[in-house]
Each structure stands twice: as C-alpha cells, then as structure tokens.
C-alpha cells in the first residue's frame, strides 16, 4: 500500500481513475458526496455535494473533462471535475503564521480547500428513473451514457441535452452495474435477476444466466467480458461465443465491482471479506493484496480500479471502512 485518501464520512462505494490524467481519481460515497483527489498529494481537489442521497458510482468521460455520478435519489448528475484554487486565498485565510502550529495550518488549509472546492450544481441532471440509480457509464464517443437503476431498467441518455434516447427493458430485478465497451457502442448490464445482458442498440439483447445475483460485469479488452457474482465465482467470457465461460474462478466470498487491467490483463477482485485477489484472464491466481490491522481494508471492499499508467499507484481500492487506498502492484514474476 502506497497512499490513503481520507475525507469521506461514510462508506465509499466506488473509486475510478480519470481517463485524461492518471494522477486524478474520483470516489463516490454513502455520505452523499463524490470527491476528486490528487493521487500524489492525497488532497481532495473537489467535493461534489449536489446529490441528496448516497452517491453510488462515479465515472470519467473518455473524451471530455466531465464525470457522471449516480445517486439514491434516482438521478444521475453530469459535472466538471476541474477546480482552480488560488494559493494566495488559502494563505490569506490564516490569521497569523505564528499563531498556528504546522498541523493546525494544514488542517485549516484542508477545510478551506473543501469550502472553496465544493460544487453543488450539476451541468446537467438526468431524470427518468423511479428508483435508485446504482451506476452509469459513458459510451466510447463520450457523447452518450447509460444509467442502471433498481427500477429494473437502463436508460441511454444524450449527454449534451439530457434527452432519453432509449429505455432498455428486460431485466426482472434490480440492476447492479453497467459498463460500456472501450471502443464499440456495446454495453453490459448486471442484475439481481441472475443475468447480465449485452446491448449493442441494434440486435436483440441476450441474457446469460448465473446461479446467484450478478454484482458486476466488465469488458476485458475488446473481445472478453469478466463477470462476478454473489455465488462466489468470477467467470471470463468470449464475446463471440457466450455459451460457456472460458474460465471460472471460485472464491471464498461474494464478489463486488471488479476491474481488469487493460495493459496487463489482470483481474482485481474485491470481496465482502475484505480481501482483494488478483487473477489472470486464464483463471490462474496471481496473488492477494495484504490485509492486516495496519494495512488494507477493515470492512467490505466495494470497488477497485486500475491505473496502468500511474508510476506511483497502479491500482486503487475503496470500502465500507471509509478508506480509499492506493496500491503499487508488482506483477513481475520472480524466476
């Protein structure tokens, strides 16, 4: 473990890495806020406080400097993660340098930064669901996005106008996740109805069954999907032949929002039992992240995100212990 990021007052549901700057991450929390962080300094650059409920997901636009966050009040918000903070304003706020100890100065700076870097109004609010919006993701063009809700539907929105372009029906229970393909107009949704579904907006959707609720499904490169479930399995699928999985990994705990390193083809798997396990796409176990009283998460790990281009931390994790952690994973195999 390399870094930790403190500031959320409740469990952190998701962590994601900026598509434009690997030194910037975003987090979504049950404390009704989303935060943008500087990876290197550990400082919160921006606190988004525009939601009225738990913030369940945060995703960076692949083309523009925008993010989308989703919330328990049934909406998704599009907003800018950029904030400019003039340093002289921070210094002026201190009454006297002699009156404050260094730790107090830093604390005062952090409080002022949070006040100045607080955003409450979105650029656009996306409305259409009648229940919790659990996740959203941008299509590869960056001009459209898909939201997933507990109302059993997903909605394709125009990001510029907020117009509902298509409502995707078919799941029989609450949706748990949505992910877009990195280079095609293809989306995968996961649901508690024991299926995940592929949508390409041209062909009929196709469900693929699990024994237990599907918690997560993500694209691995352009040809594969990796799914995880409450039945304690992770499966790798070939998009060209979805009849049976290429690999099945059996875990000892339920699987939460996993992530695949696009450059190293490594699956990071967060668990209810506080573990984070690493596997390759062939189903071979690579390792497990440390977990002790001093290192790692003390409660359920909700989400992980790879940052392949970041020299400091190449993976991040967050959990219901309010922690956001940065890791350096050495994937070199010892001879």
- 3-state SS track over the chain: CCEEECCCCCCEEEEEECCCCCCEEEEEECCCCEEEEECCCCCEEEEECCCCCCEEEEEECCCCCCEEEEECCCCEEEECCCCCCCHHHHHHCCCCHHHCCHHHHHHHHHHHHHHHCEECCCCEEECCCCCCEEEEEECCCCCEEEEEECCCCEEEEECCCCCEEEEECCCCCCEEEEEECCCCCCEEEEECCCEEEEECCCCCCEEEECCCCEEEEEEECCCEEEEEECCCEEEEEECCECCCCCEEEECCCCECECEECCCCCEEEEEECCCCEEEEECCCCEEEECCCCCCCCCCCCEEEEEECCCCCCCCEEEEECCCCEEEECCCCCCCC
pLDDT along the chain (335 residues), means of 10: 96 96 96 97 96 98 97 97 55 39 51 68 97 97 96 96 94 96 92 91 59 86 93 94 92 96 94 95 92 84 95 96 94 55
The label of the residue with tokens 């979504």 reads 28
pLDDT at 242: 86
Residues 6+ positions from 325 with CB-CB distance below 8 Å:
1, 3, 4, 5, 296, 297, 316, 317, 318
pLDDT at 234: 97
pLDDT at 202: 58
- Of 333, 308, 309, 298, the C-alpha closest to 325 is 298
Q: Whole-prediction pTM value?
A: 0.88
Distance CA 277, CA 288 (A): 4
- Of 224, 302, 297, the C-alpha closest to 270 is 302
Domains of the chain, first to last: 3-43+54-83+125-327 (2.130.10.10)
Which residues partner with 280 through β-bridges? Answer: 266
Q: What digits encode the pLDDT tens for the residues 41-72?
A: 999 999 999 999 999 999 999 999 999 999 99
pLDDT at 258: 97
pLDDT at 213: 79
pLDDT at 204: 54
Q: What digits encode the pLDDT tens for the residues 115-145?
A: 557 899 999 999 999 999 999 999 999 999 9
For residues 58 and 21, the answer to whether their CB atoms sit within 8 Å is no
pLDDT at 111: 57
For residues 297 and 303, the answer to whether their CB atoms sit within 8 Å is no
pLDDT at 330: 83
């Amino acid at each position: 473990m390399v870094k930790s990021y403190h500031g959320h007052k409740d469990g952190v549901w998701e962590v994601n890495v900026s598509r434009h700057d690997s030194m910037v991450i975003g987090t979504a929390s049950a404390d009704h806020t989303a935060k943008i962080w500087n990876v290197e300094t550990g400082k919160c650059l921006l606190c988004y406080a525009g939601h009225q409920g738990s913030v369940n997901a945060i995703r960076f636009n692949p083309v523009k400097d925008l993010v989308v966050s989703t919330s328990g009040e049934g909406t998704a918000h599009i907003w800018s993660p950029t904030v400019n903070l003039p340093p002289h304003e921070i210094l002026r706020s201190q009454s006297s340098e002699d009156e404050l100890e260094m730790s107090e100065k830093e604390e005062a700076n952090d409080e002022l930064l949070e006040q100045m870097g607080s955003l409450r109004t979105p650029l656009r609010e996306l409305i259409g669901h009648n229940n919790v919006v659990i996740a959203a993701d941008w299509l590869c063009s960056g001009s459209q996005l898909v939201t997933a809700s507990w109302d059993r539907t997903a909605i394709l929105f125009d990001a510029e106008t907020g117009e509902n372009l298509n409502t995707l029906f078919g799941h029989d229970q609450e949706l748990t996740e949505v992910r877009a393909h990195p280079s095609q107009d293809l989306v995968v949704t996961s649901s508690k109805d024991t299926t995940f579904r592929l949508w390409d907006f041209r062909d009929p959707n196709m469900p693929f069954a699990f024994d237990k609720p599907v918690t997560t499904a993500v694209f691995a490169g352009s040809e594969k999907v990796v799914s995880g479930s409450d039945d304690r399995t992770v499966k790798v699928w070939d998009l060209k032949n979805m009849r049976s999985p290429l690999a099945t990994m059996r875990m000892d705990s339920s699987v939460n929002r996993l992530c695949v390193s696009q450059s190293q083809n490594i699956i990071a798997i967060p668990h209810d039992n506080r573990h984070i396990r690493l596997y390759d796409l062939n189903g071979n176990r690579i390792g497990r992240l440390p977990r002790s009283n001093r290192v790692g998460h003390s409660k359920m790990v909700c989400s992980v995100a790879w940052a392949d281009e970041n020299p400091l931390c190449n993976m991040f994790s967050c959990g219901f212990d309010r922690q956001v952690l940065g890791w350096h994973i050495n994937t070199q195999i010892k001879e």
